[in-house]
Chains A and B, each alone.
Chain A
Amino acid sequence: MPHGAVADPDEGQVDQLYAETRQLRLQGFLLFLVSDVVLFSSFIFAYLYLRNTLPAWPPPGINRLDVGFAAFNSVVLFGSGVTMHYALESWKHGKFARYANFLIATIVLGAAFLAGQGYEYTNLYMREHVSWSGSGAFGASFFTLTGMHGFHVFVGVCYLTVLLLQSCAGVYTKEKYFGLTAGTLYWHFVDVIWVVLFSIFYLI
């Protein structure tokens, strides 16, 4: 909670100021993620609802999605979660080079995941003739949800790149790195959503 009055903040107070601003931003950012979860949940609800109206899933004429490739691609994404974790830890311990390596690895893995997804989409469309608007509820829900997730990954990759540049430019210090915390949280969030999507589209 904010405290009483002083007109002229000195160094120590500036630090406290940072701490409190960080607290605000963190809470705001977490709430943003919550509302994003609600957005995904609503689409997931729609998917389950539509799926439930059909006797067979996937509907005849459409093959089951290829779990093998998607599992591989998932591992790529989860791997990027691990590297992101280490990136932040390294930063906290002041190991800048290690941090940079891990962050670059995260970005590369994220991009690889997107490439994998692109490959999967192309495959579905060219070989299996499954499309967004022409395959009933199946195409609609699959492409909308995974597409939304892919868009989040894309935004994440861009954001992490910005963070990388920012940290090279010295925007963050060992003590003040809210942007990095937010980036990490966001990246883990994207991972968790993928766990759910993977289970409901490929496993059940």
Chain B
Amino acid sequence: MAVQAAHAGGGIADHIHPEPQGFIRRYVFSIDHKIIGIQYMITGFVFFILSGLLAETIRVQLMNHAGGFVSNDTYNEVYTVHGSAMVWLVIIPIVTGGFGNFVMPLQIGARDVAFPWLNMLSFWMFPVAGLLLFSSFLVGAPVAGWTEYPPISLEGGVGTSMWCAAIFLIGVSSTLTGINFIVTIMQMRAPGMTFTRMPLFVWAQLATAPLSMVATTALAAALAALFIERQFGVPFYDPTKGGSPVLWQHMFWFYSHPAVYIMVLPVFGIVSEILPTFSRKPIFGYKMIAFSSMAIALVGFMVWAHHMFTSGLAPYLQLPFMILTYVVAVPTGVKIFSWLATLWGGKIHLTTAMLFALGFLALFTLGGITGIFLAAIPYDLHIHGTYFVVGHFHYVLVGGSLTGIFAGIYYWFPKMSGRMMNETLGKWNFALFFIGFNGTFLPMHWLGILGMPRWVPQYDPQFEFWNRFASVSSFVMTFGILLFFVNVIWSLRNGKKAGANPWGARTLEWQLPSPPHYYNFKHIPNVYGLPYDFSLPLPYKGLDEELTDSPAPVPAGSH
């Protein structure tokens, strides 16, 4: 394909603002996508620790069939905030706002996202929403689970309304980020970077952004209605006043099913970067991986009622949802098999990042397969609302999204900080996490099948053994995760200097200094080909000056 020649003309790409001075403008109210990305991650991990500790509260309570660690109401608050925070304050912000912001503009050869100020605004909604959600503990947190089904969510104090407001806020943030990313990817790619030359992480963000935009807005409507009903008694969901509780379920799942793909598509992108780099091989089936992300995003809008098979929907409505849900397995399978084929014949370097990526493959696939069990209506009528579901979604969320996030951090940490992470600690981190994880969540599948429902602070004594097993395993996992934080903190100060490209990776961000300059690129490069051909020279032109120490040019007369 003919490559566009660089032609003289100062596009916005070269419209460089000088780097702001002063701590506040630089690190707090920064408009630099790299700083914002890191802000998202740090904030996200703070909330991760908090909601992880809530998860451990759950596990301690369930050590004993009679419970006894916390009261029933506290238990209900705990898992509700745990689930809500993990989804909305941890995974979604980290994979979109965090990785998306830091990595995506670098990979497409842009100096920033399309609307940097909007980006800053989106970020600042996030900690505010988080504070709002967690401070609801002070006035009585919501109890009805992260799904907050009415009518029970119409009861209770102001905590549930705070929940509504918090999720609404984070939803607006997510929508704005989605818009920002779509425009950035559509408009600001470096010359020569056609759609078929975009790194797969960028493809993943491009598939995710419309989900954030459209699905989240639908959730905003549902939340607004719930808030209005709770505060002003306007009947949407209360059946005794002419509303319908099932309406909420439709609106909630119309968002929340796509949301599970918001949580996992960017991670697919992360893995698609890590596997070729450490296999020293082009990604296998580039086009199919890119295309299947789009297919998943699209079909993802048409399966929401698989969460409602027991809600009394008309039978003829249920079957199409079941079959479409099965259909999602096909594009997802294409990805899994392509990643496997990427490993085949590679020169595999088992770094920690790679181990986590392989861990992702193994764990996510299992979670996906149990998803098929849930999609089968006859079987879902048995296991809906049980620990089987809890097992399924922790495999895809923790085994999938979270493991992928760890992989991504181990991979891009050198780019963000300029230092390497400790590999020995990293491997311990991985091993303990992997073993603890399976020990925690695998038994939940048979617990569910044999009759243990979700949302219970006490349970039948026959399930005590496997619950204790799960709890003890979860302590192992917690210790593994603790090593991760130790590693990050230790490496920030003592890690080896990374240099520009410690992994020998080929996407654009690795051709820049670590950490990259404020302007990212002194000159916007031209792109000639896919970033995954290890046998060819780098497909970029105009990068020669990037790694020299001369400062980036500041255009005269720029404001």
Which A residues lie at the B interface, using CB under 8 A? 1-10, 13-14, 16-17, 20-21, 23-24, 27-28, 31-32, 34-36, 38-39, 41-43, 45-46, 49-50, 53-54, 59, 132-133, 136-141, 143-144
Digit string of B1-24 for contact with A (CB within 8 Å is 1, else 0)?
Answer: 000111111111111000000000
Q: How far is the CA of A38 from the CA of B217 in the complex (A)?
A: 6
Report whether over half of chain A's contact residues are helix, strand or loop; otherwise say mixed.
Answer: helix
Contacts of B234 in A (CB 8 A): 132-133, 139-140, 143-144
Q: Is B526 an interface residue (CB 8 A)?
A: yes
Can you list 7 A-B contacts (CB < 8 A)? A2-B11, A8-B10, A34-B214, A35-B175, A38-B213, A38-B217, A50-B243
Q: Is B225 an interface residue (CB 8 A)?
A: yes
Contacts of A21 in B (CB 8 A): 12
Contacts of A10 in B (CB 8 A): 10
**In the assembled complex, how far is the CB of residue B477 from the closest CB belonging to chain A, in whole angstroms?**
38
B218 and A42 within 8 A (CB) = yes
Contacts of A41 in B (CB 8 A): 218
A42 and B9 within 8 A (CB) = no
Contacts of B504 in A (CB 8 A): none
Q: How far is the CA of A28 from the CA of B542 in the complex (A)?
A: 29
- 5 A-B pairs with least C-beta separation: A4-B6, A136-B242, A42-B221, A2-B13, A9-B10
Q: Is B493 an interface residue (CB 8 A)?
A: no
Contacts of A137 in B (CB 8 A): 235-236, 242-243
A49 and B10 within 8 A (CB) = no
Docked complex: B105-132 residues within 8 A CB-CB of A? 110, 114-115, 118
A27 and B9 within 8 A (CB) = no
Q: How far is the CA of A2 from the CA of B11 in the complex (A)?
A: 5
**In the assembled complex, how far is the CB of residue B529 from the closest CB belonging to chain A, in whole angstroms?**
17
Q: Which of A28, A45, A133 contacts B180 (CB 8 A)?
A: A28
**In the assembled complex, how far is the CB of residue A148 from the closest CB belonging to chain B, in whole angstroms?**
9
Q: Which residue of B has the minimal Cβ distance to A38?
A: B217
Digit string of B524-559 for contact with A (CB within 8 Å is 1, else 0)?
Answer: 101000000000000000100000000001011110
Q: Which of B9, B228, B247 contacts A13 (CB 8 A)?
A: B9
Q: Which residue of A has the minimal Cβ distance to B558?
A: A9
A4 and B9 within 8 A (CB) = yes
Q: How far is the CA of A4 from the CA of B222 in the complex (A)?
A: 46
A27 and B218 within 8 A (CB) = no
Contacts of A53 in B (CB 8 A): 244
Q: How far is the CA of A173 from the CA of B244 in the complex (A)?
A: 53
**In the assembled complex, how far is the CB of residue B24 from the closest CB belonging to chain A, in whole angstroms?**
26
Q: Which of B186, B188, B556 contacts A7 (CB 8 A)?
A: B556
Contacts of A24 in B (CB 8 A): 12, 114-115, 183, 187-188
**In the assembled complex, how far is the CB of residue A125 from the closest CB belonging to chain B, in whole angstroms?**
14
Q: Is B220 an interface residue (CB 8 A)?
A: yes
Q: Which residue of B has the minimal Cβ distance to A28?
A: B183
**In the assembled complex, how far is the CB of residue B115 from the closest CB belonging to chain A, in whole angstroms?**
6
Q: How far is the CA of A54 from the CA of B235 in the complex (A)?
A: 14
Q: Which of A31, A39, A46 contacts B236 (CB 8 A)?
A: A46
Q: Which of A23, A39, A140 contacts B220 (CB 8 A)?
A: A39
Q: Is B158 an interface residue (CB 8 A)?
A: no
Q: How far is the CA of A78 from the CA of B522 in the complex (A)?
A: 51
Contacts of B6 in A (CB 8 A): 3-5
Knowing A35-B175, A133-B235, the reply to whether A16 touches B9 (Cβ < 8 A) is yes
A35 and B228 within 8 A (CB) = no
Q: How far is the CA of A43 from the CA of B179 in the complex (A)?
A: 21
Contacts of A5 in B (CB 8 A): 6, 14, 522-524, 542
A45 and B115 within 8 A (CB) = no
**In the assembled complex, how far is the CB of residue B108 from the closest CB belonging to chain A, in whole angstroms?**
10
Docked complex: B395-433 residues within 8 A CB-CB of A? none
**In the assembled complex, how far is the CB of residue A37 from the closest CB belonging to chain B, in whole angstroms?**
9
A2 and B12 within 8 A (CB) = yes
B11 and A32 within 8 A (CB) = no
Contacts of A34 in B (CB 8 A): 213-214
A9 and B15 within 8 A (CB) = yes
Docked complex: B189-227 residues within 8 A CB-CB of A? 189-191, 213-214, 217-218, 220-222, 225
Q: Which of A16, A46, A133, A141 contacts B251 (CB 8 A)?
A: A46
Q: Is B512 an interface residue (CB 8 A)?
A: no
Q: How far is the CA of A132 from the CA of B234 in the complex (A)?
A: 6
Q: Which residue of A has the minimal Cβ distance to B15?
A: A17
A20 and B11 within 8 A (CB) = yes
B232 and A17 within 8 A (CB) = no
B524 and A31 within 8 A (CB) = no
Q: Which residue of B has the minimal Cβ distance to A42?
A: B221
Q: How far is the CA of A138 from the CA of B236 in the complex (A)?
A: 10
Q: How far is the CA of A22 from the CA of B9 in the complex (A)?
A: 16
Contacts of B523 in A (CB 8 A): 4-5
Contacts of A2 in B (CB 8 A): 11-14, 110, 187-191, 524
A27 and B7 within 8 A (CB) = no
Contacts of A20 in B (CB 8 A): 11-12, 187
Q: Which of B8, B183, B247 contacts A4 (CB 8 A)?
A: B8
Knowing A7-B555, A42-B217, the reply to whether A133 touches B191 (Cβ < 8 A) is no
Query: Which of A14, A41, A133 has the most chain B CB atoms inside 10 A of its CB?
Result: A133
